[in-house]
Amino acid sequence: MRRLRARGEQARVCVLGAMSAPLGGDRLALDITAGTRARLEVTSAAATIALRGPTTVPATYDVRVRVGDRATLHWLPEPLISTRGSTLHQTFTVDLAATSRLLMREEQLLGRSGESPGHLTTRLGVRRGGRALLDQHTAYGDPAPAWDGPAVLGAHRATGQLLLVDPELDAPQEPHVIGDDPAEGQAVLTPLADPQALIATAVARTPAQLRHLLDVALACAYQVPRPEAEGEQEGPSSR
């Protein structure tokens, strides 16, 4: 972990990794706590690369997050790359106070250029004010069934999501689709049961297109989008 220069009142921390992890059999864990009224951004210096190890035992990477009363946490790491032959099980456990704010971006790249992916599973569980807000499970790469079928990723190999929880957010009541060309990539901004929470899920052909879709989704969350000027939205940046 390395502390970065603060941005205003927001403290910033960077996770420094290495290409040697996570390998098969590794068990990694990260605990993050933003105390009362704290403002924290956590990012990473480079992409996390899941690699095949000397054992067939899956690697695990557990991220546990607690955000206190009136605190703000931005979780904005670089993408996770699932390489051929790797197996990684990743979990996120998030516990939010009722008055806290969360911006959480996750991006996965399935295989390097011209490479088939390994097996990647992620589980995201979020509680707010002691109540369940979201429990989501995804699985990509063999032996997950139909992960590359038309109902899941199709030909896309970049996927990700952005979760926004904000006590001042007035979430739209209907899903909003972002992106005019499904072949290049699309995102959908979806309200959750809590009116102060939204999740955007995106698929794309390239990492750059994926990031663009998530940035536009974040802008749309804070204002009603105009379809003819969707790419010109303004709002908080997820970068």
Structurally, the chain folds into a number of domains equal to: 1
8 Å CB contact between 148 and 139: no
- Domain annotation covers residue 236: no
Rounded mean pLDDT of 9-25?
86
**pLDDT tier, 43 (very low <50, low <70, confident <90, very high otherwise):** very high
Give the per-residue pLDDT at 108. Answer: 96
- Domain annotation covers residue 233: no
- Domain annotation covers residue 150: yes
Q: Could you tell me how far CA 87 lies from the centroid of its own chain?
A: 19
> What's the CA gap between 38 and 71, in Å, rounded?
5
The pLDDT tens digits for 180-227 are 888 899 999 999 989 899 999 999 999 999 999 999 999 988 774 444
- Domain annotation covers residue 235: no
Give the per-residue pLDDT at 76. Answer: 97
pLDDT at 237 over 80: no
Rounded mean pLDDT of 112-137?
94
Cα angle for residues 164, 42, 225 (degrees, 5° grid): 30
The pLDDT tens digits for 136-148 are 999 999 999 999 9
Q: Let me know how long the chain is.
A: 239
- Domain annotation covers residue 33: yes
Of 160, 147, 163, 204, which is closest to residue 181 (Cα–Cα)? 204
Give the per-residue pLDDT at 33. Answer: 97
Rounded mean pLDDT of 18-33?
86
- Give 162-216 as a DSSP string: EEEE-TT----SS-EEE-S-TTTEEEEEEE-SSTTEEEEEEEESSHHHHHHHHHH
Q: Which domain holds residue 114?
A: 2-223
**pLDDT tier, 17 (very low <50, low <70, confident <90, very high otherwise):** confident
Q: Which long-range contacts (CB under 8 A, 24 or more apart) does 132-137 make?
A: 133/96, 133/165, 133/192, 133/193, 133/194, 133/197, 134/163, 134/192, 134/197, 134/199
Q: Which two tokens stand for residue 25?
A: 């059999």
- Domain annotation covers residue 86: yes
- Domain annotation covers residue 134: yes
> What's the CA gap between 157 and 184, in Å, rounded?
11
Give the per-residue pLDDT at 174. Answer: 86
8 Å CB contact between 102 and 94: yes
Q: ω into residue 22 within 30 of 0, thus cis?
A: yes
8 Å CB contact between 187 and 202: yes
Give the per-residue pLDDT at 18. Answer: 64
Alpha-helical segments (H) within the chain? 207-221
Q: Could you tell me how far CA 74 lies from the centroid of its own chain?
A: 11
**pLDDT tier, 19 (very low <50, low <70, confident <90, very high otherwise):** low
pLDDT at 99 over 90: yes
Rounded mean pLDDT of 70-87?
96
Please give the span between the terminal C-alpha atoms of the chain, in angstroms, as a whole number.
19
- Cα 45 to Cα 65, 76, 88, 168: the distances in Å are 19, 11, 20, 31
* Mean pLDDT, all residues of the chain: 90
pLDDT at 239 over 60: no
- Domain annotation covers residue 45: yes
C-beta neighbour count of 47 within 10 angstroms: 15
Give the per-residue pLDDT at 161. Answer: 96
Longest dimension (CA), the chain: 52
The pLDDT tens digits for 160-187 are 999 999 999 887 778 999 998 888 999 9
For the whole model, what pTM was predicted? 0.88
